[in-house]
Amino acid sequence: MKHRLVYALLALFVIASMVMAGCQPAPESTEAPADQPTEVVQPPADQPTEVVEEGPVGRNNYVEMKVEAPSCDYGGEFKSIETVDEFTVKFTLCYPDPDFPSKAAFSVFSISDKEFMDATSGDSIKMSEAPNGTGPYMLKEWIRGDRVIYEANPNYWGTPADIPNLVFRWSEQSAQRLLELQSGEVDGVDNPAPEDFETISNDPNLALYPRDPLNIFYIGFNHEVAPFDDVKVRQAIAYAIDRERIVDQYYAEGSQVAKVFVPPAIQPGYSEAVDWYPYDPDMARELLKEAGKENLEITLSLRNVVRGYLPTPDKVAQEIQAQLAEVGITVKINIMESTAFIDATAAGQEGFYLLGWGADYPGATNFYDYHFAADTNLQFGALYPDIVEEIRAAGMISDPVQRQVHYDKVNQLLKDYVVMIPVAHGASATAFKASIGGAHSSPLSNELMGVMTSDSDQFVWMQSGEPSTLWCVDETDGETLRACEQIYEALLSFKVGGTEVEPGLAESYVVNEDATEYVFTLRQGVMFSDGALLDSSDVVATYAAVWDAASPNHVGRTGNFEYFTAFFNKFLNAPAE
């Protein structure tokens, strides 16, 4: 690329000038507007925030930008997003959102270069050909169906990746992943089978890193698809499922039978007072008889991809098939390709299916809002207005006691309507060669390879499935998100291996008292892999491309942008229904 030659020559000129004239003082840091309260997030004391004075010279593309809704009547969370100056961006919300920092740390909302998005029209497929991120790795080659090959980003603003070459591979079979780890073909694997935990722990050449069960495995219904449009049929199936047997037989130690949709660690959100239907085959048969739906024949759809919430999907499907046969229901198992399955369930095309969710951040809004209050996620059929009302009300309240009142109502309604069957909170793990430094598992399943060390110049990671794209604003699949997380970064980030929010591309932020205004101060000197410098217009452009349905960059892969409506409710300029 001819730009790179120019940058290299400019870099030599700058370095020579520094040698002759000495280092210039760093520019003063940008301050938030005077009417903003105390800063909430600050960089660690040992982490520099000044502009890097030596190194490559980037391309400055800053433009003033503001995207604003005429009013908040359109129903979404954002009122406006604007550049305050080159390194300051302000979000003004229509209603309080105390979880906004966690949402801003989630990798789906990683920041892209405005110029690059304009050139590719925000098309995830086009953007995946030559991803342009700020992270520790860059794409070298994607051999479809086989592997993704990364190389270390030489201009990374943070601590450079110690291992220069990174490879992502995949296999649906946990036995295959373990075999390749044991043979040394790969350096780390995701989701080893529960029965292999002891084998890994007893092998001096390997190391097991357990993952806390911040997830839910559920059996889903689309209540608009017959025969699941009859609540008695859904109740009958709920009574027919022995959830304890499923957890005892197919899950790792530390897993839990689910009572409600969120795990007990999600507080507020978990409802102690609400319990699920007990296992009662006789009640199941009686309800089917009342509904006139005896001797049903139904199809159960799933993807055979191992996840922390579902370690053996094929075996669990067979177990459910056998349990429902005991009450007179014949089940045909339909195994689908992973991306096609996710797209089909989100579009409301599957009536009865197995799915789950791993936390993107440790908050109830991440579980409830995405699944039961987002009108771009139609997996359960049309939304239930009373459930949406309670979920939205809870999300605007900071007080945990008041929030819990709403979540108790949500969980009771989920049970009454039998929107889905919560089955398990699954304990899972990652496994690595014992020689890998910095190895870890994350309760959010966002393991970062840039912090790891090795005696080799290559690290090979093997997960359950191939990514769909390498630009993740319009994705929901965990294998895809992890692949993107090696390349891109969001305004904030989560502590490696944890859930604590810390600085990311923004070195700090401030928030007003009612949590309706958030002002972020960006790091200076951060460069995208194509040579453009990060500035506040990149942030506005990234969010606006998803928020504004009239934007020419509102493309993605499916155009669904499920996470956005789950987190922020409505698109601006959405077409009339």
Q: How many helices (H) and strands (E) does the chain have?
A: 17, 21
- Cα separation, 335 vs 341, in Å, equals 9
pTM: 0.84
Do 366 and 381 meet the contact criterion of CB atoms below 8 Å apart? Answer: no
Write a three-state SS string for 304-349.
CCCECCECCHHHHHHHHHHHHHCCCCEEEEEEECHHHHHHHHHCCC
Q: Is residue 396 part of a domain?
A: no
CATH of the domain at 480: 3.40.190.10
Query: What type of residue sits at position 12?
Result: L
If phi > 0 it is left, if psi is from -120 to 50 it is alpha, else beta; for residue 87 that is alpha
Burial of 550 (0-12, 13-18, 19+ CB in 10 A): exposed
**Residues 536-559: what's their mean pLDDT?**
97
Q: Is residue 438 part of a domain?
A: yes
Strand partners, 81: 67, 91
Same domain flag for 380 and 496 = no
Cβ of 382: how many Cβ atoms within 10 Å? 11
Half-sphere exposure at residue 282, Cβ-oriented, CA atoms within 13 angstroms: 0
Q: Is residue 327 part of a domain?
A: yes
Q: What are the tens digits of pLDDT across the range 377-403?
A: 999 999 999 999 999 999 999 899 999
Same domain flag for 226 and 317 = yes
Q: Is residue 549 part of a domain?
A: no
Same domain flag for 14 and 160 = no
User: Dmax of the chain from CA atoms?
Assistant: 90
Q: Using 50, 70 and 90 to split pLDDT, how confident is the model at 56? A: low
Q: Is residue 574 part of a domain?
A: no
- Helix residue spans in 151-280 (DSSP H): 174-183, 197-201, 231-240, 243-250
What is the number of domains present in the chain?
3
Q: What are the tens digits of pLDDT across the range 104-114?
A: 999 999 999 99
Same domain flag for 418 and 360 = yes
**Cis peptide leading into 194, omega within 30 of 0?**
no
Q: Using 50, 70 and 90 to split pLDDT, how confident is the model at 577? A: low
* Domain boundaries, position 299: 215-389+401-425
Q: What are the tens digits of pLDDT across the range 284-324?
A: 999 999 999 999 999 999 999 989 999 999 999 999 999 99
pLDDT surpasses 70 at 37: no
